[in-house]
Chains A and B, each alone.
Chain A
Amino acid sequence: MPLRLTLAACAALAAYAGAAHAQTQQPSDALAAECGRDCLEALVDDYLEALAANDPSRLTVTGDVRFTEQGVELPLGHGLWKTASGIGTYRHIFADPQMGQVGAYMSVRENGQPAMLELRMKREPGGAVSEIETLVIRNAGQVTRMEEGGFPLPLWTEPVPESERLTREQLVRAANSYFSALENQDGRGIYAFSDDCNRLENSNYTSNAQGTSFEGSLDDAPTYAELNIGALGCREQFETGYFAIDTELHGRRFPVVDIERGAVFAWVFFDHDGKSKEITLADGSKRPTGNALWTWQMGESFKIERGLITHIEAWMVEAQYHQSGGWDNFDRDHYGIVDAGGIGK
């Protein structure tokens, strides 16, 4: 390996591992023994019940519990805690017992309207919750589609055979490779998708989706329909270089790694700096874009099998350009994790 690449790889590893940070939390089998998957999923149930009752006191939390909604720190009990009116039927949970972390996409009711709640919680030894990170997607039609569409697909909950399980670091690297491949995409990267990979975004399939319309700004990009990007598979889409419209993917965090199921629950922002009004696709052709100044704020999850990304689920809201997620500095202080943008590049 050339020296330059070796140094880059070492730097990326150091960034991910945060090896020099004294307070970096390490995976703990003892933590997993105290509260495994069922326990963490029960914690999610507790959260939903407390939320629907508009009563955070029903949840056992630490004295310094930290709560964010849409990346904004709020006192626990504010935001959706005041407006929630019920629990929906869609539930997709990711468990990371060794880190005491659990992530989930779940439908709820807010003042009677369906909404999607993305939730991450950190459970401390003994059972109290110390971190609660949420993103609420308020689109009744999208949520209803998930509730009535037979989601989540069974593949998400199927365990990976033990002999095929990847390590925590490998799973994070695989997830991060997706973000790196999108950022200023040129169509010539390494796109490690399975042939049957599919991506679900806010209830819509945005790959292998012939005839399926997209919601959101991608519809507005004049070349999108022309390229028929949505009809292509995951790898074929990336090989066009179309996603050069995503100019920076900042605030990448991978707090929940479900090793047993080969899944990663991540947070990220997709920035569009508005500078590029034209992109050059991998075939050399130039296309105008509808690129304006804006950002997607999202939770995005990956199923990774035999070294390839096989399925993706993302839920997102529009945010102010280059908004912060509210946890970057906190993670740096507590877990030694900095923005992992360098990994896999």
Chain B
Amino acid sequence: MTALLKAAAGALCAAALAPAAVAAPSECDRDCLVETAQDFLDAVAAHDASLLDWNAYARWTLNGIELPFSEAVWALENGVSDSYQYIVPDAETGEVGIVTTWTFDGTPALMAARLKVEWGRPSEAELIVNTQARDAETDYAALANPLLGASTAIPEASRLSRDDLAGFADSYFDGLEAQAFGPVATSCARIVNGAPMESCGLFEPEHTDTVSPRRFAAVDPSRGLVFAIVRYNDDGVREGGAPNSTLAATVLRITNSEITRIETVAEGVHYMAPTGWDGD
């Protein structure tokens, strides 16, 4: 990818990355965000939201639907497994991304979660959950060792800026829309809902015609990670199917100016269904 293209992509992402004009201070550094993520997982396992010290205006969504803190995840028997789990903290935005295996209401499941911390307390929780009951081909309980290498630090001299990292992710999604290869390494590996895909160059999910909205919620230059929440949309025209959308957290690892790993937790939703967080 040329420097010019990277710069353009970075500029395109600037708006998506820019903090809101009146954003509350996070007051939570990298270690604090990781600790908050772990506290959140403990609260999920105990199905007790009150174990976290939420802001008074906190809200949460499950697969795009806002629910009370007494429903769903907070009311059903869960268990969190760390056999397949990683955390993407972003101290600059106060957001942290989580991907983990767990059992949801007794069913093996994958969860991607985004938390936002303000005033040192969580104020937003966005969960995308795919259960094994919906995706019977993958044994979530047996998943282990995520591909991302999320804990492997990138040498400081090789690190890209937040904008550049988000630019790579944005270019990848642009490539899906254009049915063209994005800036992926030939050795790139990709996992969707725990299942290895043939390559990173195939379209995700297949038949996607737009990837919108896109949010680059947590970017970690020290690990080369971008935790993005997007909606893949298929209008049903290209492949002769029915209109449908997929709400997803897609995490990309970028090393040596190439995308080397892509992992997605995805849940099918109604075509163009609101995400609950994009003003829709």
A300 to B237, CA, bound (A): 30
Partner of B271, one of A72, A322, A323, A324: A72
Asked if A274 contacts B105 (CB within 8 A), the reply is yes
Residues of B within 8 A of A214 (CB): none
Asked if A321 contacts B272 (CB within 8 A), the reply is no
A71 to B273, CA, bound (A): 8
Using known A-B contacts A72-B274, A292-B105, determine if residue A111 contacts B240 with beta carbons closer than 8 Å: yes
A80 to B67, CA, bound (A): 29
- Judged by a CB distance under 8 angstroms, whether A240 is at the interface is no
A190 to B244, CA, bound (A): 41
Asked if B241 contacts A78 (CB within 8 A), the reply is no
Using known A-B contacts A74-B272, A321-B67, determine if residue A274 contacts B242 with beta carbons closer than 8 Å: no
List the one stretch of B23-31, B68-76, B113-121, B218-226 in contact with chain A. Answer: B68-76
Asked if B271 contacts A274 (CB within 8 A), the reply is no
- Contact-residue size bin, chain A (C-beta under 8 Å from the other chain): 20 to 34
Asked if B62 contacts A69 (CB within 8 A), the reply is no
Asked if A110 contacts B64 (CB within 8 A), the reply is no
Asked if A320 contacts B64 (CB within 8 A), the reply is yes
Asked if B65 contacts A322 (CB within 8 A), the reply is yes
Using known A-B contacts A72-B270, A274-B72, A293-B76, determine if residue A320 contacts B237 with beta carbons closer than 8 Å: no
Partner of B75, one of A72, A110, A273, A323: A273
Interface string of B259-280 (1 = CB under 8 A from A): 0000000000111111000000
Asked if A322 contacts B270 (CB within 8 A), the reply is no
- Judged by a CB distance under 8 angstroms, whether A136 is at the interface is yes
- Judged by a CB distance under 8 angstroms, whether A173 is at the interface is no
- Judged by a CB distance under 8 angstroms, whether B171 is at the interface is no
Residues of A within 8 A of B242 (CB): 83, 110-111, 115, 136, 138
Partner of A320, one of B65, B107, B240, B241: B65
A interface, CB within 8 angstroms of B = 69-72, 74, 78-80, 82-83, 110-112, 115, 136, 138, 273-275, 292-293, 319-324
- Judged by a CB distance under 8 angstroms, whether B175 is at the interface is no
CB distance from A169 to the nearest CB of B (A): 32
Residues of A within 8 A of B133 (CB): 292
- Number of residues from B at the complex interface, CB < 8 A: 25
- Judged by a CB distance under 8 angstroms, whether B92 is at the interface is no
Interface centre among A74, A112, A320, A324 (most CB of B within 10 A): A320
A324 to B75, CA, bound (A): 20
Closest residue to B269 on the A side, CB-wise? A320
A74 to B210, CA, bound (A): 15
B residues 175-223 touching A (CB-CB < 8 Å): none
A136 to B271, CA, bound (A): 11
Could you tell me the dominant secondary structure of chain B's interface residues? loop
Asked if B75 contacts A275 (CB within 8 A), the reply is yes
A83 to B240, CA, bound (A): 7
Using known A-B contacts A275-B75, A323-B65, determine if residue A293 contacts B235 with beta carbons closer than 8 Å: no
B interface, CB within 8 angstroms of A = 62-65, 67, 71-72, 75-76, 105, 107, 133, 235-237, 240-243, 269-274
Partner of A83, one of B63, B71, B75, B243: B243
Asked if B272 contacts A72 (CB within 8 A), the reply is yes
Residues of A within 8 A of B64 (CB): 320
Closest residue to A79 on the B side, CB-wise? B243
Using known A-B contacts A70-B271, A136-B242, determine if residue A111 contacts B236 with beta carbons closer than 8 Å: yes
A79 to B160, CA, bound (A): 40
12 residue pairs A–B, Cβ–Cβ below 8 Å: A69-B243, A70-B273, A79-B235, A82-B235, A82-B236, A83-B240, A111-B240, A111-B242, A115-B242, A273-B75, A275-B76, A321-B65
Closest residue to B104 on the A side, CB-wise? A293
Asked if A71 contacts B75 (CB within 8 A), the reply is no
Partner of B243, one of A78, A112, A320: A78
A273 to B62, CA, bound (A): 13
CB distance from B137 to the nearest CB of A (A): 19
Partner of A69, one of B72, B237, B271: B271
A67 to B221, CA, bound (A): 43
Residues of A within 8 A of B75 (CB): 273-275
A321 to B71, CA, bound (A): 10
Asked if A80 contacts B243 (CB within 8 A), the reply is yes
Partner of B235, one of A78, A136, A138: A78
A338 to B105, CA, bound (A): 32
Partner of B236, one of A83, A275, A293: A83
Asked if B237 contacts A83 (CB within 8 A), the reply is yes
Asked if A70 contacts B270 (CB within 8 A), the reply is yes
A47 to B241, CA, bound (A): 22
Asked if A322 contacts B272 (CB within 8 A), the reply is no
Residues of A within 8 A of B270 (CB): 69-72, 319-320, 323
